[in-house]
Structure 1
């Protein structure tokens, strides 16, 4: 059995930080020197890997990436280095937990399924980022460009060191920490099958990924139609001239949520956290820090994005009034959303009042 993880019989004890993390923190400090000592010997590297607590190893990897992101961003003045790896790093961490469990002979069927949904998440996000041109040299997240233009270079460098390069890298590790709890819980119960509850979590996570795909595709179709309309002045059969002139999508899932893709994206990692809670028979635990950090990041990022959109599009304030940011607005009559006919009639009424 693996000595790098504690042998725990009680499922709630799998979430006890003092038992499952704290005893292994010294490995974090010793790991860099041990890695350098073993770097030239494959067998030594393998032994170092299997004998290091998987959570500590993943954390160390996220910290090691931070200076790489920092140096690359400062060399080419492109601060989207973490963004380029966003779609693959969480899956790399999940694969790591799964591989580590297999190499140490631990039950890993739950982790196999985590890797399956995580890989699908990565493929969807990678494809969406690629078709938007995110991997092209010189393409940078417009948010960093705006912030860089508004603050002193020294302050932006500090921001880059602390948040862009380091905190974001560590965050992508922390959202996968529930997978560590699933590893410990599977070992504690010595089961290597999915329970009915596990199946529900897997299917829910897969469904959320499918939802993000539809939301992204609807956004992509609209932006392409808008670009075509600007060149030809001819609306497509799917979108009217009024919709295309508005500048932002208000149909499909976007009729009910201003950011349906972001809503599902956040729900995915909250769902993984809830899976870890369920598997360890706890209502909450320390791995929720990752999901909470992800929610906070999306709140701040979306807030900033909407400030830009509100200044860019005349009707965006009305869109904000009618449609919920992430979840649909609920009224006594049901869900509230963007109604094209209703908006058209209201615009006519306002025009008559002005006359």
Structure 2
């Protein structure tokens, strides 16, 4: 049974902070108990245990969105831990590539978490996709199973898969800085910028009462229906380039960004498009004019008057 903790933002954020501190402590216990094991394996189990703590809390408060910031919080913590472990806690021992990865990941993490915080209204606010899943699930399937596997554990595994390329990027230091690192910085930095600009443009559009019922077809959204998703996908490809630059034999970690493409292209984009179609019939024409993710020459929505 869910506990009613009210709907205020202050209460909600206090609960989130408390839960994430508890999740972090649980992850630390896993690492402490497994001391001596491979850091990559310990990170995986610590990540999974932290996810289970957040899941348990989400069941108690009756809101699966308690997990939402985990997508951006966990990677920053993990990368900091890996760099700290590899450098022995000596800031002077951190290489240029490690600094580049660390700074870019932290900028991405802080911005994305802040974006979530701005839009989250408290424990009374749950992502519409979760509400839809709860209402349309088969009667024989408990909600907690869907929440645990599809909403929380699955994204944790997907993100950890994306971070596999970061492991060699911040722990293998035998290769000097090269052109591939420069490309990685450009791709990752541009991805963060695209995602930030797209989110900002969307917030400003949605916050204008005069745009109620209209389709967002301005700025970056004129050329892509989901430029924020494009930025997110590109971010993980940029991290993979860092891993490739540090250790080419880890090329197989390309599976991480590939899974990101599949997740957004076949889950997130269709869900968002179906919702927009249901609310705005004219969105069908918008879909014909504007590509889902990658802008195409000659295609693009006409600017609204």
Aligned with residue 315 of structure 1, among 282, 293, 299: 282
Q: Does 1:221 align with 2:207?
A: no
CA shift, 1:296, in A, is 2.1
C-alpha offsets along residues 26-77 of structure 1, whole Å, 9 cap, x if unaligned? xxxxxx9x957967xxxxx9xx3xx432211210111112321221121111
User: 1:126, 1:74 → 2: CA distance?
Assistant: 22
CA shift, 1:312, in A, is 0.4
C-alpha offsets along residues 320-340 of structure 1, whole Å, 9 cap, x if unaligned? 00000001233xxxx310114
CA shift, 1:88, in A, is 1.3
Equivalent residue for 1:148?
134
Gap change, CA 1:184 and 1:103, over 3 Å in 2:
closer
SS at match of 2:123: coil
Equivalent residue for 2:234?
267
Aligned with residue 57 of structure 1, among 18, 36, 42: 42
Aligned with residue 105 of structure 2, among 99, 118, 122: 118
C-alpha offsets along residues 221-276 of structure 1, whole Å, 9 cap, x if unaligned? 11111x2x3xxxxxxxxxxxxxx254221011111000111101101102211332
Equivalent residue for 1:94?
79
8 Å CA contact retained: 2:188, 2:237: no
CA shift, 1:184, in A, is 4.5
Equivalent residue for 1:353?
none
Gap change, CA 1:35 and 1:68, over 3 Å in 2:
closer
Q: How many residues in Structure 1 have an aligned counterpart in Structure 2? A: 275
Gap change, CA 1:222 and 1:159, over 3 Å in 2:
same
C-alpha offsets along residues 183-206 of structure 1, whole Å, 9 cap, x if unaligned? 4531xx2x5x53343133123311
Gap change, CA 1:329 and 1:37, over 3 Å in 2:
closer
Q: How does 1:1-355 map to 2 (within 5 A)?
A: 35=29, 48=35, 51-103=36-88, 108-133=95-120, 136-151=122-137, 152=139, 154-186=141-173, 189=174, 194-225=177-208, 227=209, 229=210, 244=211, 246-282=213-249, 284-285=251-252, 287-299=253-265, 300-330=267-297, 335-340=298-303
Gap change, CA 1:176 and 1:278, over 3 Å in 2:
same
Which structure is larger by alpha-carbon Rg, 1 or 2?
1
TM-score (norm. length: structure 2): 0.81
Gap change, CA 1:104 and 1:115, over 3 Å in 2:
closer
Gap change, CA 1:182 and 1:36, over 3 Å in 2:
closer
Q: Which blocks of at least 5 consecutive residues in structure 2 are unaligned?
A: 1-25
User: 1:139, 1:167 → 2: CA distance?
Assistant: 22
Equivalent residue for 1:17?
none
User: 1:95, 1:274 → 2: CA distance?
Assistant: 19
8 Å CA contact retained: 1:97, 1:111: no
User: 2:30, 2:75 → 1: CA distance?
Assistant: 25
Gap change, CA 1:118 and 1:313, over 3 Å in 2:
same
Gap change, CA 1:319 and 1:183, over 3 Å in 2:
same
